[in-house]
Amino acid sequence: MCGIVGILSTTKKDTAIYIYDALTILQHRGQDAAGIVTSHKGRFYMRKSNGLVRNAFRTKHISGLLGDMGIGHVRYPTAGSSSGAEAQPFYVNSPYGITFAHNGNLTNTAELAKELFEQDLRHINTNSDSEILLNVFAGELAKLEKQRINEKDIFTSIMQVHKRVRGAYAAVGMIPGYGIFGFRDPNGIRPLILGKRTTKGGTKYMLASESVALTALGYKVTRDIAPGEGVVIDRKGNIFTKQCSDKSQYSPCIFEFVYFARPDSVIDNISVYKSRLRMGEKLAEKIQNEWSETIDVVIPIPDTSRVAALQLAQKLGVKYSEGLIKNRYIARTFIMPGQKQRKKSVRQKLSAIELEFKGRNVLLVDDSIVRGTTSQQIVQMARDAGAKNVFFASAAPAVRYPNVYGIDMASNKEFIAHDKTAEQVCTAIGADKLIYQDLDDLIWCVQQGNPSIKTFDNSCFDGEYVTGDIDKNYLQSIEDIRSDTAKQENNTNESSELICNDVE
């Protein structure tokens, strides 16, 4: 999962600071690296670095990112490695000079890499599928052999991308002297939203992964980019859109609403906040129907589960308490690379307020249980704080299958529930009782926000992949690639990439 943003201003040259602000708002989508590229008088200016947005950029960097348009990216590594060379945005100088940022994960990267080398004569420099996606797009644009391009040429190239590429991809790009563009995969697995801000000084346009990046900066949401759709915004502020796939359908990733997206975001006209409220209500109904245990207090595991936990407590008529306090300076443990780092960070991230636990039957509520690392340690924290009994509720169903579309869930071995019943998971995490949300209920909770969306990507829960190209051999190949990448990173010093006019 990554966060992407593209901004074009029809007058002012202060685009970089707005991209920086938007990336800060989208920081929850990726903590591994951050990057910004702007364009001024036909030249690109770039700064990208490993780490959080606030650490990657200083005032001198922002002031050196000149131009009235630009794109930005926060990275969460799933495909490729976590080296500095794979920080985005990426760049190709032919044709026209294109910079590009991508959120998602391609599922036919090996096939595409071979095609690009043998047929398109294009060189791939990293293990990142985002670089492959950029080169597929650039290669298709080059085939048109035009000195000057227009929006129709970009849409033609996007159409060819959809024919060649499989998987999840929401992307933004920029062509110097022309404008910015964006597109979304035919299943709409990853989000992309268009907005506009009109001021006395001119009009600004933004493409972003979540609506909150727009609204927090004073932009008005225009609409979500539809599955398979492309959008082009030229230097004059003209907006062009076109459906570029004849096989498009809405199948957004349901895990966006469970965990990744901010609760104040609206994606595909579905309020993340209201979806999580409904998750709490449905979970409470299931507890009422299936449990006879006495619950003294409901405590959320911050931050993502708060909304569901509060609604659950209200529905049960049980006290709600913030019994776990989060250290704001520790990043999201789920998206940290490496199991050892995750284990270390849980104890640093959370601490228990003893008076809320001591002598009580406590129901801990989390958004989901993936690897079980966090759950196990928090259950023990509750016991150490004096809890009489520790119950555990997951607002999502059991995660049993890999997510191949941009979430770091690549191996069955990582999932505590993959080959276990709920009772076995309960024992493994050390809880006295465990309950999961039912998948049908989760789908209902999200679908109520936009009943026109009939299907979601629920693959991490049911093992059914909307692209239809995932089998056991593919899943095994992912495990092998991840293992090889980890070995390479242990033996290779971090590298960096120098392109355009690097702002250091």
- Contact in structure between 45 and 64 (CB atoms under 8 Å): yes
Q: What DSSP designation does 219 have?
A: P
Let me know: does 24 contact 36? Beta carbons within 8 Å.
Answer: no
Q: Which of 2, 253, 445, 460 is catalytic?
A: 2
Tell how far CA 23 is from the center of its chain.
12
Q: Respond yes or no: is residue 2 known to be catalytic.
A: yes
**Spatial separation of the C-alpha atoms in residues 369 and 338, rounded to whole Å:** 17
Provide, for the chain, the percentages of residues in helix, strand and coil under a 3-state DSSP scheme, each rounded to the nearest 5: 35, 25, 40
CA distances to 297, 380, 387, 419, 431 from 376, in Å: 19, 6, 15, 17, 8
The length of the chain is 504
Residue 500 to residue 236: CA distance in whole angstroms: 24
* Peptide bond connecting 95 to the previous residue in cis, omega within 30 degrees of 0: yes
Contact residues for 150 (Cβ-Cβ < 8 A; gap 6+): none
Token code pair at residue 213: 């990046």
Q: Where are the beta strands (DSSP E) in 294-360?
A: 297-300, 319-320, 324-326, 350-352
Catalytic center residues:
2
